[in-house]
Amino acid sequence: MLNSMTGFGRAAVSVGDKLFSIDLKALNGKQFELQLKMPALLKPYEFEIRKCLAENLGRGSIDCQISLKEAGPTVPVSINTQVARSYYQPLAQLAAELGLDTSQLLPSLLKLPDVIISGSDGLTEAEWVLFKQGLQGAITAINKHRKEEGKALEADLLERINQIEKRQTAIAALDPVRREKLRASMNKSMKEQLKDEAIDRNRMEQELIYYIEKMDITEELVRLSNHCSYFREQVATAEEGKGKKLSFILQEIGREINTTGSKAYDAGIQRLVVEMKDELEKAKEQALNIL
């Protein structure tokens, strides 16, 4: 069972007279990377929120947006002038450089993070517990979406492996004919080169066997089959976080395909190798999406 690295989850939770909306979006990423935007009210809990997301979401580029709507009596607010100035100065400078009117900067400035400070008190312990339940709801939603995306990824990846195995079988069927053609061609070539000299047939036969064995692809085809079987086994396991392992197996599959192509010296087999490489590249692209 595979989980996609991409997904989306949303949850809303009422905490007293406050309504929190939590939106999670995950994209591909080699490590866990988190972009977190939240109201100042939750700043004391930022470390715990980050820890919870990291433990439950694994790899990926995560965007977490937490918004707050207060349903109770009007809450007094104040302006964080220090933050406002830090925003205003570069914006005003940019506007001047571009020849833009700076008179409308203030409305935009007030919408930027942490400029407006709510007079609300922090969360009580009970309210924090409720908020964590809402956060867990968003995590559950995004992981459910990731699992659904993973089913589609799994079907596509296994089809790519099917296509590689299909062409591997075709190559194995062509190989005996290729070997006979290769033997006949090399035999003819050696006779032509040695036509004016006495031929040691035993020596020539040994030379033929040596070169034919160097071009033998039996071991490559066996290893390719084993790698494909191992790939299927890993896809079927319940193990989580196996995207990197599957990518490594695909690299090994590619190694055997490349070696087969370089040793084949046969147009029909070369065509099948090209087709296998095409399927492999598609599989590698999809594997990048696996958690």
Listing DSSP states for 81-104 in one string gives HHHHHHHHHHHHHHHHHHT---TT
pTM exceeding the 0.75 threshold for the entire prediction: no
For residue 100, the model assigns a pLDDT of 78
What was the pLDDT predicted at 98?
80
Domain boundaries, the chain: 7-149, 150-287
**What's the pLDDT at 8?**
97
| Tokens coding 136 | 């867990």
Question: CA 39, 45, 51: angle at the middle one, nearest 5?
Answer: 115
Q: Helix H segments across 194-217?
A: 201-214
pLDDT in tens, the chain (291 residues): 899 999 999 999 998 888 999 999 999 988 999 999 998 889 999 999 999 999 999 889 999 999 998 765 555 566 777 777 888 888 888 888 887 777 777 777 777 777 766 655 578 899 999 999 999 999 999 999 999 999 999 999 999 999 999 999 999 999 988 888 877 777 676 666 666 565 666 666 676 666 767 788 899 999 999 999 999 999 999 888 889 999 999 999 999 999 999 888 888 999 999 999 999 999 999 999 998
CB of 165 closer than 8 Å to CB of 256:
no
Q: What is the pLDDT at residue 119?
A: 55
d(CA 145, CA 153): 12
Structure tokens at 59: 């790899």
- 3-state helix vs strand vs coil in the chain, percent to 5: 65, 15, 20
Q: Biggest alpha carbon distance in the chain?
A: 110
Rounded-to-integer distance, Cα 276 and Cα 270, Å: 10
Q: Tell me the pairing of strands 18-27 and 60-70.
A: antiparallel
Q: Which helix (H) or strand (E) holds 251?
A: helix 243-264
Per-residue confidence (pLDDT) for residue 188, from 0 to 100: 72
Residue from 108, 216, 119 nearest 172 by CA: 216
Distance CA 177, CA 190 (A): 20
